[in-house]
Chains A and B, each alone.
Chain A
Amino acid sequence: MASSSIPAGGHVDPTRRDFLMVATGAMGAIGTIAVAWPFINNLNPAADTLALSTVEVNVAPVQVGQAITVKWRGKPLFIRHRTPEEIKAAEAVPMSELRDPQTDNSRVTDTAKKVRPEWLIMIGVCTHLGCVPLGNNPGDPKGEFGGWFCPCHGSMYDTSGRIRKGPAPLNLAIPGYLFTSDTLVRVG
């Protein structure tokens, strides 16, 4: 047993017992985390879910003015092949009019910094409470701004998918996407 004299200040040198207690406690804590980790990690997405997290879409068949909806990560992905009029209208909107100011240019740039304004690729989930807005199918109401209209509470998005009217706080989200060729786009 280590002998320790108590100096005038009252501080006692740590004993072997103190060292053992702290060391055991630390090892115990590390061990507990090491055992708990696989159980917690187990609930993370599995390999099959992760495999579906990236989708490659061939947009060649989508005509100008046409739009398609693709399922991605369980949610609808809106891909619209915009007309030159829609692009011009989107670019003409001043930032001061927007609840969530974003330039049209920034919304049509892929992860390799390539700008292709004719392709608008967005997650088709209204940023208010999560309904799928109308406007992607022919005959759908498009709202006052020519983009999308959410029937649940009346949010209206413009030709760049930005919120213009109604309760939604944010623009329709743009996922990270990359044009791997002229007609192939990889999302996610």
Chain B
Amino acid sequence: MASSHGTPPVFNNKVIAWIDHRLPIFSYMEKEYHHFPTPRNFNYFWNFGAIATVMLVLMIATGIVLATNYTPHTTMAFDSVERIMRDVPSGWLIRYLHMTGASFFFIAVYIHIFRGLYYGSYKSPRELLWILGVVILLLMMATAFMGYVLPWGQMSFWGATVITSLFTAIPVVGDSITTWLWGGFAIDNPTLNRFYALHYLLPFVIVGVVALHVVALHVHGSNNPLGIDVKGPQDTVPFHPYYTMKDGFGVMVFLIIYAGFAFFAPNYLGDPANYIQANPLATPTHIVPEWYFLPFYAILRAIPNKLGGVLAMFGSIAVLFVLPWLDTSRVRSASFRPIYKWFVFVLVADVFLLGVCGANPPEGWYVPLAQIGTLYYFFHFLILLPVLGKIERPLPLPPSIADAVLKKNAG
């Protein structure tokens, strides 16, 4: 383990040496992003943290530029967005990048979370790293929710009405809390204004939590597809150039797919109802959130009780917080857990099923399907994980990463 107060690094450039002696940003970068020993057996699932960071920066850049032209007043919000689309130079591009960027930010983060679930990245000593990640997810969901309200379309208004109305389910204080949230008796200008202020603020809070997330990661280093600890330098490669280049390549591929949507199908992932100005007196036939909220929306509607639905929806994220303690297995990676491995895929299928249910009106087959989906979701986390860890017989773990990699190449 490298000590942080060993021999100080020597820089040939005098200016850099002068700065570093007073504020060691250069030696910090050298240590954490150049020499940092990283497991040599990463697969492309490990790319998505970097991809998510790139998307965060992109969302902030496009968002700030949009803010120079957006007006957060109910009488002008919709028109200001249309002005951005039609009159502002490159406005259409910045707006579509921001819109599509939100979707791709969630795609990257959901794949990143899947990696964590499959390879046991949430297990000791990375529990807090995982929890910080769930905090980031929550902040992202709040930011995305408020951002979607800003264009003041029909879906903006009515989606916001439905979700903020959830708080009326809280007994005794529910109505007061909801009025407090709204700043009035319904979603109106005060709500729009405060959502704008918070939507501008939260991304920077996310940046702060991401910084903590990365610092926490660097304490014990990254997990790896085998889930076994790094035993020595033969198990690792320096972060630069191996993973700077690999991540760079992965980011490029991701950005190509992202650009494909942003330029050629920017409205594919959105709802056309949001191109109609908000009308507080006319509810659209189907109120649907953006795709990344659909599974949670399905869980909300699956429980026939109003308060029960709200608790289930928040509960579905709450279980993620305690995941490190729910899973009792001592083996990290699902590659060595022959039974658990399949249940992870079942969970993914379940989340997709819930997403489909969320996209459709709660009628016919979608009702029991959503209920089964919700049931399985909570069964997976609250019953399956604790039990499976105790009764499953894992496959034998390889002695070390280097061993496994070399054996694979030799065979």
What is the chain B residue whose CB lies nearest that of A51? B87
Asked if A39 CB lies within 8 Å of chain B CBs, one says yes
Contacts of B88 in A (CB 8 A): 42, 46-47
Structural contact, B86 and A43, CB atoms closer than 8 A: no
Structural contact, B87 and A47, CB atoms closer than 8 A: yes
Interface centre among A42, A43, A46 (most CB of B within 10 A): A42
Interface members, chain B 26-68 (any A CB < 8 Å): 61-62, 65, 68
Structural contact, A42 and B61, CB atoms closer than 8 A: no
Contacts of A48 in B (CB 8 A): 83, 87
What is the chain B residue whose CB lies nearest that of A31? B252
Pairs A–B under 8 Å by Cβ, sample size 20: A38-B89, A38-B93, A38-B94, A39-B62, A39-B65, A39-B90, A39-B94, A41-B89, A41-B90, A42-B65, A42-B88, A42-B90, A42-B91, A42-B94, A44-B89, A45-B89, A46-B87, A46-B89, A47-B86, A47-B89
Interface centre among B61, B62, B69, B89 (most CB of A within 10 A): B89
Majority secondary structure of chain A interface residues (helix, strand, loop or mixed): helix
CA distance A46 to B65 in the complex (A): 13
| B-binding residues in A (CB < 8 A) | 37-39, 41-48
Contacts of A44 in B (CB 8 A): 89
CA distance A44 to B62 in the complex (A): 16
Structural contact, B61 and A46, CB atoms closer than 8 A: no
What is the chain A residue whose CB lies nearest that of B64? A39
Contacts of A46 in B (CB 8 A): 69, 83, 87-89, 91
Contacts of A39 in B (CB 8 A): 61-62, 65, 90, 94
Contacts of A42 in B (CB 8 A): 65, 68, 88-91, 94
Supply 17 further A-B pairs (C-beta < 8 A) apart from A42-B68, A46-B87, A47-B86: A38-B93, A38-B94, A39-B62, A39-B90, A41-B89, A41-B90, A42-B65, A42-B88, A42-B90, A42-B91, A43-B68, A46-B83, A46-B88, A46-B91, A47-B89, A48-B83, A48-B87
Contacts of B94 in A (CB 8 A): 38-39, 42
Contacts of A47 in B (CB 8 A): 86-89
| A-binding residues in B (CB < 8 A) | 61-62, 65, 68-69, 83, 86-91, 93-94
Contacts of A38 in B (CB 8 A): 89-90, 93-94
Q: Which 3 A-B pairs have the closest CB atoms?
A: A38-B90, A47-B87, A46-B87
CA distance A42 to B83 in the complex (A): 12
CB distance from A50 to the nearest CB of B (A): 9
CA distance A39 to B63 in the complex (A): 11
CB distance from B226 to the nearest CB of A (A): 32
Contacts of B83 in A (CB 8 A): 46, 48
CB distance from B52 to the nearest CB of A (A): 18
CB distance from B10 to the nearest CB of A (A): 25
CA distance A45 to B91 in the complex (A): 11
What is the chain B residue whose CB lies nearest that of A36? B61
What is the chain A residue whose CB lies nearest that of B69? A46
CA distance A42 to B65 in the complex (A): 8
CB distance from B63 to the nearest CB of A (A): 12
What is the chain A residue whose CB lies nearest that of B58? A35
CA distance A45 to B68 in the complex (A): 12
CA distance A173 to B370 in the complex (A): 72
CA distance A37 to B86 in the complex (A): 18
CA distance A46 to B68 in the complex (A): 12
Contacts of B69 in A (CB 8 A): 46
CB distance from A18 to the nearest CB of B (A): 16
Contacts of B61 in A (CB 8 A): 39
CB distance from A160 to the nearest CB of B (A): 38
What is the chain B residue whose CB lies nearest that of A38? B90
CA distance A39 to B69 in the complex (A): 13
CA distance A41 to B68 in the complex (A): 13
CB distance from B15 to the nearest CB of A (A): 22
CB distance from B93 to the nearest CB of A (A): 5
Interface centre among A45, A46, A48 (most CB of B within 10 A): A46
Contacts of A45 in B (CB 8 A): 89
What is the chain A residue whose CB lies nearest that of B62? A39
CA distance A37 to B91 in the complex (A): 12
CB distance from B357 to the nearest CB of A (A): 39
Contacts of A43 in B (CB 8 A): 68
CA distance A146 to B337 in the complex (A): 96
What is the chain B residue whose CB lies nearest that of A49? B87
What is the chain A residue whose CB lies nearest that of B97? A38
CA distance A47 to B89 in the complex (A): 7
CA distance A39 to B61 in the complex (A): 8
Contacts of A41 in B (CB 8 A): 89-90
CA distance A44 to B69 in the complex (A): 12
CB distance from B157 to the nearest CB of A (A): 26
